[in-house]
């Protein structure tokens, strides 16, 4: 079911993309849409205030095991997105996915296949996949 939905999304995006069909336009639109996602997150902090950033150095646990390291790493984010900020950020992420799917179409790549391959890599590397 999910694979059909992703394929349908990628196909529909391909049908709707007309103005920015050039790979050059797509690359810059993708980058712009990514910047909008980041801007939405920053605005949730600086203009709305529903979330706060409390950044500081992450703890370094040289001899700690994976679970200890995972527990000690912080998001540096306090609070929860309000409905308004959540709505804006979701729309911006959707727009970002639109251009990602468009780039996949142009390069003849299948988004679902990419997700499956990445999932396999993440599962295979498991805790050694420290991103």
Q: Which residues bind Zn ion (CB under 5 A)?
A: 44, 48, 50, 82, 85
Task: Quote the CA–CA distance of 19 and 112 in Å, as a whole number.
Answer: 25
CB of 97: closest distance to Zn ion in angstroms?
Answer: 22
Task: Quote the CA–CA distance of 14 and 101 in Å, as a whole number.
Answer: 8
Of 28 and 84, which has the nearer Cβ to Zn ion?
84
CB of 99: closest distance to Zn ion in angstroms?
Answer: 25
Of 54 and 58, which has the nearer Cβ to Zn ion?
54
Task: Quote the CA–CA distance of 17 and 27 in Å, as a whole number.
Answer: 14
Pairing of strands 77-79, 51-53: antiparallel
CB of 77: closest distance to Zn ion in angstroms?
Answer: 12
Of 7 and 86, which has the nearer Cβ to Zn ion?
86
Q: List all residues 6 or more positions away from 127 whose beta carbon is below 8 Å from its beta carbon.
A: 66
């Amino acid at each position: 079911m999910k694979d059909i939905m992703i394929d349908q999304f990628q196909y529909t995006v391909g049908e709707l993309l007309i103005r920015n069909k050039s790979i050059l336009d797509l690359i810059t639109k993708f980058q712009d849409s990514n910047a909008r996602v980041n801007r939405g997150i920053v605005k949730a902090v600086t203009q709305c205030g529903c979330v706060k950033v409390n950044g500081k150095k992450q703890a370094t646990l040289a001899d700690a095991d994976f679970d200890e390291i995972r527990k000690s790493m912080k998001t540096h984010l306090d609070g929860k997105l309000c409905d308004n900020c959540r709505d804006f950020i979701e729309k911006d992420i959707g727009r970002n996915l639109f251009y990602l799917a468009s780039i996949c179409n142009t390069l003849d790549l299948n988004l679902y296949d990419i997700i499956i391959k990445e999932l396999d890599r993440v599962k295979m590397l498991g805790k050694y996949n420290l991103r």
